[in-house]
Structure 1
């Protein structure tokens, strides 16, 4: 079994202590996202083939990574977008994330971290030209620290639209047609390839073009290469077009306090902040 921690929340940033307690007790109790009873996911060494961590800030999780690594190999899906604070109110600055990725790569090897430039969102602040320039600046600094970058075009779910609408007209969101999305993603993928990064696209096969390939965010092959051992896994995506290996997620919705307006996992940012003890979002450096 591969454990995902978590595409519903940022466990490394906000729930490191709880994760370490779960490791110590050998299981995680997970709130059923569909309204059924809570359930347990085993974290016992004999039951875990690998961990996939999803984060924007792994710095509070250094001990958690060490302890998880004693049980099974891990990969970090690390999101770094460098978007304006208007869109990402509590996200650490890109410099913070890049420094932490460099530290992990130096200590663990570059194969441990996959960079996510995700989602690519079109707004009055983040148009196509912004993304081309912004991505190249970030890619110049992350080349050599990571070997893959994953993209996706923003999907504006109902809760995302609602949160974005609350901040109109400051955040003017658009949803261009597939041709426009495909053209920008192809430009970003080309820039990635020029810098030695493998560009992949998450769960949007209709937007694929060379040199991108389909992403496997829960990547059993990468885990096996890191762990130097094979295990059985099967492809079982989380939504149509997803090429991920089967995994069990141990996170909860409405428990990430980063404050990204476009987030699909948070319905109420105040509720999410309360879930992490009412901590205010991390201050950001001026832009």
Structure 2
């Protein structure tokens, strides 16, 4: 089994102590965000590896070292976009991100990190031409550090549109959803820029936008985890099946232990947060000694010891 931690929130940046406590315990509890069922998810026994999603792995470096000592491979999806503060309120600076990404690769190997330039958001602050230039600058800095960049265009859910509209009023910018052919044109440019620096461009779950030089991505990638293990001198065979979450998703099957509305980074385009105020409040309510990242308020405490599922 592969554990995802987490596409719902930034566990390495904000919840590292909790994850370490649960890793040492060997399990964590998580709530299905749709059916609200509670599951107990193993974090040691039967786990093939971990996929982490983050914008700031700095607070998590020691945790990664402990996971590696346990002989469990991991991959980090590391988001680095370099957007203006009007769009990304409190992410770490680009230079710090670049330094951390290099440190991770130097320590854990070139297959352990995937760069995410995601989502691509078209605004008057970041028009498509800006993305072409910004991406090329970042790709040049990341040559020899990562071999893949995963991208997608922002999906404008109702909450995303609401948050973008509020930010646009506050910071006086406009935003739009470009037509598909404009998106494909940009993707071809990004793919060429990435290839010039040894970085393969993959597209996350938007099969209608696939174009020359662009491949579909598998964010949860058992083969990459095997490569990481091999680089550490370990022999791993991960028998996970491809089980995408939506059309065009090539991810291998995994279990996620995160919670929506708990990441206080303040990215205006985030699909996982209704409002930053709510996320900050829920982050403040977090107990690193809990079985849950954030226990649901309706759940009775004091249950019997868990049975691993």
TM-score tier by shorter-chain length is over 0.9
Residues 109 and 228 in structure 2, CA contact (< 8 A), matched pair in contact too: no
| Per-residue deviation, residues 46-103 of structure 1 (Å, max 9, x unmatched) | 3110100000000000111112222410000000000000000011111111100010
CA-CA distance at 1:278 after TM superposition: 8.1
CA-CA distance at 1:271 after TM superposition: 1.4
Alignment of 1:51-90 (within 5 A): 51-69=50-68, 70-90=70-90
Residues 147 and 199 in structure 2, CA contact (< 8 A), matched pair in contact too: yes
Size of the aligned set, in residue pairs, is: 278
Counterpart of 1:38?
38
Counterpart of 1:272?
279
Counterpart of 2:113?
113
Greater Rg by CA: 2
Separation in structure 1 between the aligned mates of residue 144 and residue 132 of structure 2, nearest angstrom: 20
Unaligned runs of 5+ in 2: 231-235, 287-309
What's the secondary structure of 1:78's corresponding residue? strand
What's the secondary structure of 2:168's corresponding residue? coil
* Structure 1 moving runs of 4+ over 3 Å: none
Separation in structure 2 between the aligned mates of residue 71 and residue 227 of structure 1, nearest angstrom: 8
What's the secondary structure of 2:167's corresponding residue? coil
- Of 66-75 and 251-260, the range deviating more from structure 2: 66-75
Separation in structure 2 between the aligned mates of residue 181 and residue 37 of structure 1, nearest angstrom: 38
CA-CA distance at 1:35 after TM superposition: 4.3
TM-score in terms of structure 1 length: 0.94
Separation in structure 2 between the aligned mates of residue 37 and residue 130 of structure 1, nearest angstrom: 43
Counterpart of 2:138?
138
CA change 1:24–1:168 in 2 (3 A) is same
CA-CA distance at 1:231 after TM superposition: 1.9
Alignment of 1:159-174 (within 5 A): 159-169=159-169, 170-174=172-176
Residues 55 and 80 in structure 2, CA contact (< 8 A), matched pair in contact too: yes
Counterpart of 1:260?
267
1:122 matched to 2:129? The reply is no
Residues 207 and 248 in structure 2, CA contact (< 8 A), matched pair in contact too: yes
Residues 164 and 171 in structure 1, CA contact (< 8 A), matched pair in contact too: no
Residues 48 and 71 in structure 1, CA contact (< 8 A), matched pair in contact too: no
Counterpart of 1:175?
177
Alignment of 1:118-267 (within 5 A): 118-169=118-169, 170-228=172-230, 229-267=236-274
Unaligned runs of 5+ in 1: 280-287
Aligned-residue CA RMSD (Å): 1.3
Residues 207 and 247 in structure 2, CA contact (< 8 A), matched pair in contact too: no
What's the secondary structure of 1:145's corresponding residue? coil
Residues 81 and 118 in structure 1, CA contact (< 8 A), matched pair in contact too: yes
Residues 242 and 253 in structure 2, CA contact (< 8 A), matched pair in contact too: yes
